[in-house]
Chain A
């Protein structure tokens, strides 16, 4: 057992480039369907509430993470929230430098226990603070297609 002969010249080493083309569709499910339809049609953010645990989920879930109950109580949670934490990202997906850094935040939606991960806009990176109050800026109705990107970003109030 064991390797007694190894390749000892870099020039002898070959590699083959491979690619895995993966195409698929993803159905957003009962809660996701409701969430994205409200965003698209009404520029509203909805969540689900577990009355027993007094927890409001944004994005909505049809089950409570804590007590595992089925949730059917959808509520309009408004479009405002606070910056729970943020980061200023300087690199693209492939590791190259971004032309302009993006500011990404965990937005805690007011009156809920959840939130959204989204960009911040209309603010200078050096002015961003944890706890800052912000609101969602939606694309115009004809441009909305039922995607998280129907929200352009969140901006300071």
Chain B
């Protein structure tokens, strides 16, 4: 029998397009302070280990992991840093507790995208240096290529993708921590300036700032610390080839395989029936639909119908991105999965007011790291 591990405290800043008043480390400090207060733990005394999330160059540093301990209260304590998404760090912390040697572990991620003055060039540096980078094109072209193939294969329409933007920005209006809520129409999305056909400006989630810290604990400790532990029921992660030349352009294979891993662990046979609320990666509008299919909430090519029929609205049969998603909250880079996990935790605790999904007992958080990556991570949480 696998040991139980719970999320016992969350702390987060607001997610905004800029945060000039705080340094990137102070952003994390703000989130950490809140998380430790909520969990009732002292990082200097009670926390056994820390997992931070950082990518070189994003903060203007190389060897960025060395700059993680202070703001988490982790100096002279066991720390390690994941160069990936927060959900990968969460799984690392989870596994640390499963060893039985550590009882309380903190996990962190943050984004200060507003500090990056050459975001496009930084993203271009993630491309293969001899086969792809010499084209020196705006990295959104990868999403344009993928969206076009996805629409071609599934007969999904641009209007259906635009409906995702309308829904998520509307959900964000009821979310105080979201920075990009708006009441817009399908026409607004279709008529916004074209970036990389078929992708328009409003199909793309805007880069944003923010930080999230969570505290995880073993079963025995979790029950002492909180009356509302949120249990980790299943996890899965998977990376496809980095090669743009040989990856699958129509579907998110890595999401499908990560989902199979997580569902098996959480003993889920019928995801649509058994999962009550979903936060999945919608860095680009079409990704929400593509990911719904990969996560087996419908067959390939049927996600467009789900949005048409209102199934993924907050009051629908399967609410998707009630927080507003990346389209409504903002694109948070390595912190994307943190915002998804945060929303699932708050939904399962029943603490989100107007955007509360009724009878939310099992939730799924999913992340993808944006172009040109192919890593997908999933956590299934329950109360």
Q: Which A residues contact B (CB, under 8 angstroms)?
A: 1-3, 6-8, 10, 13, 15, 17-18, 20, 26, 28, 32, 36, 57-59, 65, 84-95, 102, 104-106, 113-119, 125, 130, 147-149
Contacts and interface: CB of A to CB of B under 8 A. Distances in A.
A87 B150 CA distance: 12
B67 interface: no
A18 B149 contact: no
A116 B135 CA distance: 12
Nearest to B143: A87
Contact of B30 (A3, A13, A28, A102): A3
B287 to A, nearest CB: 15
B26 A3 contact: yes
22 contacts: A6-B22, A18-B60, A20-B62, A32-B130, A57-B246, A65-B243, A86-B148, A87-B196, A87-B197, A89-B138, A89-B197, A93-B124, A102-B137, A104-B141, A104-B145, A115-B246, A117-B244, A118-B135, A130-B148, A148-B130, A148-B131, A148-B134
Interface stretch (B113-121, B164-172, B274-282): B113-121
B120 A85 contact: no
B245 A114 contact: yes
A95 B196 contact: no
Given A6-B21, A90-B195, A91-B140, A149 B245 contact: no
A102 to B, nearest CB: 7
Interface in B271-313: none
Contacts of B136: 93
Contact of A88 (B21, B30, B144): B144
A88 B130 contact: no
A17 B117 CA distance: 9
Interface in B4-52: 20-22, 26, 29-30, 33, 36-37
B100 interface: no
B146 interface: yes
Contacts of A13: 20-21
Q: Which of B21, B132, B194 has most A Cβ within 10 Å?
A: B21
Contacts of B20: 7, 10, 13, 15
Interface of B: 20-22, 26, 29-30, 33, 36-37, 57, 60, 62, 117-118, 120-121, 124, 129-132, 134-138, 140-141, 144-149, 152, 193-199, 241, 243-246, 249
B196 A89 contact: yes
Nearest to A125: B197
A71 to B, nearest CB: 13
A93 B134 CA distance: 12
Given A15-B20, A89-B137, A93-B136, A84 B197 contact: no
Given A85-B148, A148-B130, 18 more contacts: A1-B36, A20-B62, A26-B130, A28-B130, A65-B246, A86-B145, A87-B147, A89-B138, A89-B140, A89-B141, A93-B124, A95-B138, A106-B245, A114-B246, A116-B131, A117-B131, A117-B244, A148-B131
Given A89-B137, A94-B118, A106 B145 contact: yes
A77 to B, nearest CB: 12
A55 B223 CA distance: 53
Contacts of A65: 241, 243, 246
A59 B129 CA distance: 13
Nearest to A117: B244
A1 B249 CA distance: 48
A104 B245 CA distance: 13
A150 B302 CA distance: 42
B249 A106 contact: yes
Nearest to A10: B20
A149 to B, nearest CB: 5
Contacts of B146: 85
B59 to A, nearest CB: 10
Nearest to B125: A22
Contact of A26 (B21, B121, B129, B137): B129
A144 to B, nearest CB: 13
Contacts of A92: 138
Nearest to A103: B197
A118 B246 CA distance: 14
Nearest to B152: A130
Q: Which of B124, B130, B144 has most A Cβ within 10 Å?
A: B130
B138 A119 contact: no
Contact of A117 (B36, B120, B135): B135
Contacts of B57: 20
A11 to B, nearest CB: 11
A147 B249 CA distance: 25
A18 B60 CA distance: 7
Given A28-B130, A90-B193, A130 B149 contact: yes
Given A3-B30, A7-B21, A130-B149, A84 B249 contact: yes
Contacts of B138: 89, 91-93, 95
A3 B241 CA distance: 43
A114 B29 CA distance: 46
